[in-house]
Structure 1
């Protein structure tokens, strides 16, 4: 249990930093001030875990009471906002940061769900909520329709994280399941971003609806 707890803690930090960056990037692009960047980034980084904990009955939520998590979220948001002009030269910086958060948080959500005795459906749901909940909050605060409601591939990948975890856990144990879930989900999102599959899917869906 020591190793799995360490792994979950590391993935929590990675996910918090990645989602905080994606929220701060969005704030910068929306021309919010630095406080807006910190608020938006921190909300994104912590919201998914808070929603998950509320749903499974963990009070108060870990992301509120464990001080390093909100501190890292604030620092990462501030850094991402300040250095956005340098980072923005890299194509799709926001989307890649979001993909990393999606992968790590889906693994964390699934593991936490198992630790609290949820069934397979609950594990899949908590993986999706933990992974995609922060993105929904980010888009709402930024005044946009959440990407999860516009891009079904995003929501599907978030749920796939839970399925991947369940399969690998039954075959190889929790440690391998956590690692495999994070890596596979991140790779899937990277491929989707690099190949523009989200945009292709949206174009196909709009075309079919207008016919």
Structure 2
């Protein structure tokens, strides 16, 4: 199996896992079917949409390439009808979600790294890192905002930071070739995310004073 097929397969794993994550949030908030579809779609695809808009790649691929939105909407719809069962296994979704985070980070880094030079933009390493994180974690931010919460990636999870490190891994590994760099990024981000889940790693925070 070629690296391209593996990456695309993991991309679909991420779309499904992210959509279910959004649907579960909709269920927690007591939303209706439209809420499930909206949060599922946004969690899975909003990060890539924002990346494409910032790069001027319009219309965004996550809108016009129908397999992506159809996959997200189908997963959200199934989560709605099977919500009592899906809810029981919500902790297991975190692991395919970690794989999807790696795939999204790699795809975001790859698209940005190849887009910038083609449009006369050089030394865009910081842009690659930022849009890698946005592609992977932007959908989760949109989900939480729509659900009326402070985005979880800003308060307690090593999530967007893992994706940003993935962008750096892509840049370091890029001399090995595009596919090798993407596979290295997926492996690094997924490993960091799963380690954070199993070991309870969090970024440092300011201690809040108790009244």
Matches of 2:89 and 2:10 in 1, distance apart?
24
CA contact (8 A) 2:136 2:160 kept: no
Structure 1 residues 93, 25: closer, same or farther in 2, change over 3 A?
farther
Structure 1 residues 91, 21: closer, same or farther in 2, change over 3 A?
closer
List, as ranges, runs of 4+ consecutive aligned residues in structure 1 with deviation greater than 4 Å. Answer: 3-8
The residue that corresponds to 2:145 in the other structure is: 140
What displacement does 1:54 show? Answer: 0.6
The residue that corresponds to 1:69 in the other structure is: 68
How large is the Cα RMSD of the aligned pairs?
A: 2.2
TM-score by length of 2: 0.86
CA contact (8 A) 1:11 1:108 kept: no
What displacement does 1:152 show? Answer: 6.1
The residue that corresponds to 1:120 in the other structure is: 125
Matches of 1:100 and 1:50 in 2, distance apart?
20
Matches of 2:193 and 2:80 in 1, distance apart?
23
What displacement does 1:48 show? Answer: 0.5
| 1:149 aligned onto 2:148 | no
Structure 1: state its 5+ residue gaps. none
Structure 2: state its 5+ residue gaps. 118-123
* Structure 2 residue corresponding to 1:187, chosen from 180, 183, 191: 191
**Which secondary structure state, in structure 2, belongs to the residue aligned with residue 197 of structure 1?**
coil
| 1:131 aligned onto 2:136 | yes
CA contact (8 A) 2:105 2:186 kept: yes
Matches of 2:16 and 2:9 in 1, distance apart?
11
TM-score by length of 1: 0.86
Question: What is the aligned residue count?
Answer: 203
The residue that corresponds to 1:32 in the other structure is: 31
What displacement does 1:93 show? Answer: 3.7
The residue that corresponds to 1:159 in the other structure is: 164
Select the structure that is richer in helix: 1
